[in-house]
Amino acid sequence: MFQSVDDVIQQLGDQDYICDKQIATVVFLAQQLDKPVLVEGPAGVGKTELAKVISQALGREMIRLQCYEGLDEAKALYEWEYSKQLLYTQILKDKVSETIADAANLADAADRVGDEDSVFFSERFIVPRPLMQAITSEEPTLLLIDEVDKSDPEFEAFLLEILSDFQVTIPEIGTIKARSQPLVFLTSNDAREMSDALKRRCLHLWIDYPSEELEVRILDRKVPNVDKRLAEEVVTLMNKIRALDLKKTPSISETLDWARALLALNADELEEGIVGDTLNVILKYEGDVQKAQNELSKLIEKKTVQAQAEKPQPAPDETAKKGILH
Amino acid sequence: MQKKIIEFTNLLRKSGIRVSVAEAIDAFNALDELSLDDRDVFRDALRSAMVKRGDEIATYDELFDLFWSGFYDNLKGAFGDMEGDLAEKGIDLEQLLSQLAEMMQDMDGELDLSELAKAMLTQDMSQLENMIRAAAEDAGAGRIENMLQVGFFSRRTTEQLGLEGAQQDLEGLVERMKAMGMGEEGIQQMQELIRKLMETVRRTVRNFTERELQQQNHNYMEKFRREMLTEKSFYHLTEDEIQKMREVVARLAQRIKNILSIRKKRLKRGKLDLHQTLRRNMARGGIPFEVVYKTRRKDRPKLVIMCDVSSSVANVSRFMLQFMYSLQEAFTKIRCYVFVAELGEVTDVFNDKEVSSAVEKALDGGDVINVYTRSNFGFAFHEFWKNHLAAIDNKTTVIILGDARNNYNDAKAWCIRDIQNKAKALVWLNPESPSAWGFGDSVMDKYMPYCDIVEECRNLRQLSKVVDQILL
């Protein structure tokens, strides 16, 4: 259990997840109010990671449901295990014939088999899928419904029932209530907008690219060997690259990859050559790499100009001015 | 507190952020769980419960500052300034106040100061804030509409607040202190203090009214922007609006895609497919555990788009193309032609990975035609008839987008007739209003007999309606 907002920051920090107050507030509220959280934001800012570290921090098992187009109830909730049922009927054939051996007529035999059919439609033959696992687990779990925007709109409607009541109805068996209430996280990349009905039932958390200061701290924690000064340079340049009009903007995971790559290449300073060579670590489209490549000299040049400006230099401007004046 | 949150919720709603009752209740519950000392936590908690869309966060933050924090801070600041002013004149406020408190204790019980006067003397900011808010509400400051009314509503608010009465109370207090034998200097200091207090409260009331105006304006602007964009004529878009419009178009296209996917799902329910069912259940000895149905297929339409890209209709063409680009997968094939006088095929642009550059490329004539000539519809259609008629078969829907302003050239309507004969349907979208068709150099009336659908299309709402019609 988290005790307070600060406690969330502390405990997630112990799991190497640096978060700001906004994230911590929402996580704390989700726990207190037993509400699902819809996490949105650009790709790679650590939405899925957040759910993972919370499950670790709380010592809850994480059950993950990866959404994709065409995901349906059978894959998400439960499925009858046909083959097992079939196998059992074959094995139990003798027993079945025994039961109906002294039946007076066909109708009577059918009735007797009918009386037993609950054997074949019992929990024994159900394959629980993630949603059902999360609900029927004895221990409270953490349910992560990942990339819910990739699923079909119908699936979203079906999710609503589970998220609001935490119960599942199986026609053959009846209603199964949650034994423990899971903490639910839904993540979305905004590929399509989720319905208002779903949003209404969730708390909303928008994770954006972190501030420079926060990103340096994350970098420091996740890639411990990286030099502090290099980390700052990387983050600064990264933010400049993010400001460009790119098809896919690099996010934190890319920053981390990049820092690791630079470390592997023994670079202790960002210069145009090495940045140009490693751009494909952070940019995933050829067009983006081109664009950044073109801007790169400008981005880095500015820095060298600044560095030069800091050095005391003789000012040639004044003589030039004088030349104009005379 | 509850009342304030409800007020805030209303403010959000007015600004176009949809907050349901359930969400407002969530916000209350959330606040129960938290300590409210931390402003950021407070803001994030309210936001997570009430604001669920990324693009509304900026609006929320602005309104939050306007509503919650700004005024209290301002009040505090104003009183801080006052203290500074007094200190300059050699008056130590704290000392004066403690002296005052002592004297008030010595006084007889019959001292009756108004609530406001007490709050002013004790500098109870939250009490003052509440009183000013209540007074402003009574004065109807929420109805403020423009700058000229600031003075009026400020005055009414101070009246409601009972500032005059408080002044008299305070002056009465000074009189009594004089009677109790307070020194000349002390009295002067007291009078100065009262004068300053009055001034400060007046100023903060005015500030409050101005804020109210800002909030109202914010509501108005936001609402205006949202609602008007879909209704606004493509002719009058600014650069900034074109940018915004792109987002709106993208969202609309997404919505249509969602609807399509539901329609597709419904189509799937058909008769039992015996062949597939047996096949699928081989593993279970051919016992049909899993039943497969035949799916009915609906033909995805083929599309030929002809866009007039002369400057007069470029904007309409732009959004039409973006729409079609976003909906590519809803069609089996899209072929796209652009024309002014010459006509050329720019289907390639749909292979471009990025929508905005694709559309701009097409509007530019895609290197195949000269866009800097005068419109000649007849010539363009004749070219199509000569060279590209094979692109059309009986499953093709042809969309022509143009204002049919032909510069008095030959209309060659028979080309359109032949195109319609070959195609499944011919749709003409005209950004001009129907009353202008056929007047001046418009030859719309000549083409109209050969069109299955003719629609006026000059704003987003009309465009999306037409797209929906084509897809159904």
Residues of A in contact with B261 (CB under 8 A): 152-153
Q: How many whole angstroms separate alpha carbon A236 and alpha carbon A253?
A: 15
Spacing of C-alpha B180 from chain mean position: 63
Percentage of residues of chain B with pLDDT beyond 70: 87
pLDDT digits (tens, 9 = 90+) for B174-187: 887 787 777 777 78
Cβ count within 10 A of residue B358: 21
Q: How many whole angstroms separate alpha carbon B73 and alpha carbon B174?
A: 30
Highest averaged pLDDT of the listed ranges A219-223, B71-75, B110-114, B266-270: A219-223
Q: How many whole angstroms separate alpha carbon B343 and alpha carbon B376?
A: 10
Sign of CA dihedral B32, B34, B37, B40: negative
Mutate to test the interface with A, among B17, B44, B60 (most CBs of A within 10 A): B44
- Greater confidence (B297 vs A132) lies with A132
Residues of B in contact with A206 (CB under 8 A): 54, 57
Spacing of C-alpha A242 from chain mean position: 21
- Cβ within 8 Å, pair B48-A205: yes
pLDDT confidence bin for B469, thresholds 50/70/90: confident
Give the range among A314-323, B150-159, B276-285 with minimum mean pLDDT: A314-323
Across residues B397-418, what is the average pLDDT? 88
> What pLDDT score was predicted for residue A51?
92
Mean pLDDT of chain A, nearest integer? 82
Q: Does A307 have pLDDT greater than 60?
A: no
pLDDT confidence bin for B268, thresholds 50/70/90: low
Size of interface A-B (CB pairs under 8 A): 87
Give the range among A117-126, B110-119, B196-205, B373-382 with minimum mean pLDDT: B110-119
Q: Which residue does chain A place closest to B254, by CA atoms?
A: A192
Residues of A in contact with B30 (CB under 8 A): 29, 32-33, 203
Q: DSSP for B240-251, please give it.
A: HHHHHHHHHHHH
Q: Does B8 have pLDDT greater than 70?
A: yes
pLDDT digits (tens, 9 = 90+) for B19-51: 888 888 988 888 888 877 777 888 888 899 988
DSSP element (H, E) containing A98: helix A93-99
Contact present, A184 and A163 (Cβ < 8 Å): yes
Q: How many whole angstroms separate alpha carbon B334 and alpha carbon B304?
A: 6
Residues of A in contact with B57 (CB under 8 A): 206
Across residues A95-105, what is the average pLDDT? 81
> What pLDDT score was predicted for residue B270?
67
The answer to whether residue A152 neighbours chain B at the CB level (below 8 Å) is: yes
pLDDT confidence bin for B299, thresholds 50/70/90: low
How close does chain A come to B19, measured CA to CA in Å? 9
Contact present, B471 and B260 (Cβ < 8 Å): yes
- Partner-chain residue, chosen from A25, A35, A206, that has the shortest CB–CB distance to B54: A206
- Cβ within 8 Å, pair B30-A83: no
Q: Which residues pair with B147 in a beta bridge?
A: none
- Cβ within 8 Å, pair B38-A154: no
Range A242-248, long-range pairs (CB < 8 A, 24+ positions) = A242/A209, A244/A291, A244/A292, A244/A295, A245/A291, A246/A283, A246/A285, A246/A288, A246/A291, A246/A292, A247/A285, A247/A287, A247/A288, A247/B353, A247/B354, A248/A43, A248/A283, A248/A284, A248/A285, A248/A288
Contact present, B305 and B388 (Cβ < 8 Å): no
Across residues A1-27, what is the average pLDDT? 89
Q: DSSP for B335-360, please give it.
A: EEEEESSSEEE-GGGGGSS-HHHHHH
Q: Does B207 have pLDDT greater than 70?
A: yes
pLDDT digits (tens, 9 = 90+) for A102-138: 888 888 888 888 887 777 788 888 888 888 888 888 8
> What pLDDT score was predicted for residue B274?
83
Q: Which residue has the tokens 């002296």?
A: B99
Q: Does B403 have pLDDT greater than 80?
A: yes
Enumerate domains of chain B plus CATH numbers: 2-17+53-230 (no CATH), 301-471 (3.40.50.410)
> What pLDDT score was predicted for residue A321?
43
Q: How many whole angstroms separate alpha carbon A156 and alpha carbon A73?
A: 11
- Cβ within 8 Å, pair B52-A200: yes
> What pLDDT score was predicted for residue A319?
43
- Greater confidence (B323 vs A142) lies with A142
Mutate to test the interface with B, among A156, A203, A248 (most CBs of B within 10 A): A203
The answer to whether residue A93 neighbours chain B at the CB level (below 8 Å) is: no
Across residues A149-175, what is the average pLDDT? 81
- Partner-chain residue, chosen from B44, B251, B287, that has the shortest CB–CB distance to A25: B44
pLDDT confidence bin for A323, thresholds 50/70/90: very low
Residues of A in contact with B12 (CB under 8 A): none
* Sequence ranges of the domains in chain A: 5-71+129-206, 78-126, 212-307
The answer to whether residue A22 neighbours chain B at the CB level (below 8 Å) is: yes
Q: Which amino acid is at B84?
A: G
Highest averaged pLDDT of the listed ranges A62-76, B140-154, B272-286: A62-76
How close does chain B come to A12, measured CA to CA in Å? 17
Mean pLDDT of chain B, nearest integer? 79
pLDDT confidence bin for A324, thresholds 50/70/90: very low
- Cβ within 8 Å, pair A204-B51: yes
- Cβ within 8 Å, pair B48-A192: no
Nearest Cα residue to A144 out of A27, A234, A65: A65
Q: Does A42 have pLDDT greater than 70?
A: yes
Q: The tokens of A324 are what?
A: 């104009």
Residues of B in contact with A4 (CB under 8 A): 35
Residues of B in contact with A8 (CB under 8 A): none
pLDDT digits (tens, 9 = 90+) for B330-381: 677 888 888 888 888 888 877 776 777 777 777 777 677 887 888 889 999 9
Q: Which amino acid is at B15?
A: S
CA separation, residue B63 to residues A185, B58, B208, B215 (Å): 28, 9, 14, 7
Q: Does B440 have pLDDT greater than 90?
A: no
Q: Which amino acid is at A54?
A: I
> What pLDDT score was predicted for residue A303?
57
Q: Which amino acid is at B303?
A: L
Residues of B in contact with A287 (CB under 8 A): 353-354
Q: Which residue does chain A place closest to B57, by CA atoms?
A: A206
pLDDT confidence bin for B382, thresholds 50/70/90: very high
> What pLDDT score was predicted for residue B237?
66
Percentage of residues of chain B with pLDDT beyond 90: 3
Q: Which residue does chain B place closest to A199, by CA atoms?
A: B52
Q: The tokens of B11 are what?
A: 């403010």
Q: DSSP for B22-46, please give it.
A: HHHHHHHHHHHHS-TT-HHHHHHHH
Cβ count within 10 A of residue A59: 9
Q: Which amino acid is at A279?
A: L
User: Interface of chain B against chain A, CB under 8 Å?
Assistant: 18, 20, 22-23, 26, 29-30, 33-35, 38, 40-41, 44-45, 47-49, 51-54, 57, 251, 254, 257-258, 261-262, 265, 283-285, 287, 289-290, 353-354
Please list, in sequence order, all residues whose beta carbon lies within 8 angstroms of the beta carbon of residue B376, skipping any fewer than 6 positions away. B340, B341, B406, B407, B409
- Greater confidence (B256 vs A261) lies with A261
Residues of B in contact with A33 (CB under 8 A): 26, 29-30, 33
Q: How many whole angstroms separate alpha carbon A42 and alpha carbon B173?
A: 63
Fold annotation for A5-71+129-206:
Rossmann fold (3.40.50)
Q: How many whole angstroms separate alpha carbon B314 and alpha carbon B364?
A: 10
How close does chain A come to B46, measured CA to CA in Å? 10
Q: Which residue has the tokens 């819910």?
A: A148
Please list, in sequence order, all residues whose beta carbon lies within 8 angstroms of the beta carbon of residue A110, skipping any fewer than 6 positions away. none
Mutate to test the interface with B, among A150, A154, A193, A208 (most CBs of B within 10 A): A193
Q: Which residue does chain A place closest to B253, by CA atoms?
A: A192
- Cβ within 8 Å, pair A192-B45: no
pLDDT confidence bin for B104, thresholds 50/70/90: confident
Sign of CA dihedral B343, B347, B348, B352: positive
Q: How many whole angstroms separate alpha carbon B122 and alpha carbon B101?
A: 9
> What pLDDT score was predicted for residue A326?
44
ipTM above 0.85, yes or no: no
> What pLDDT score was predicted for residue A325?
43
Q: How many whole angstroms separate alpha carbon B427 and alpha carbon B424?
A: 10
> What pLDDT score was predicted for residue B194?
84
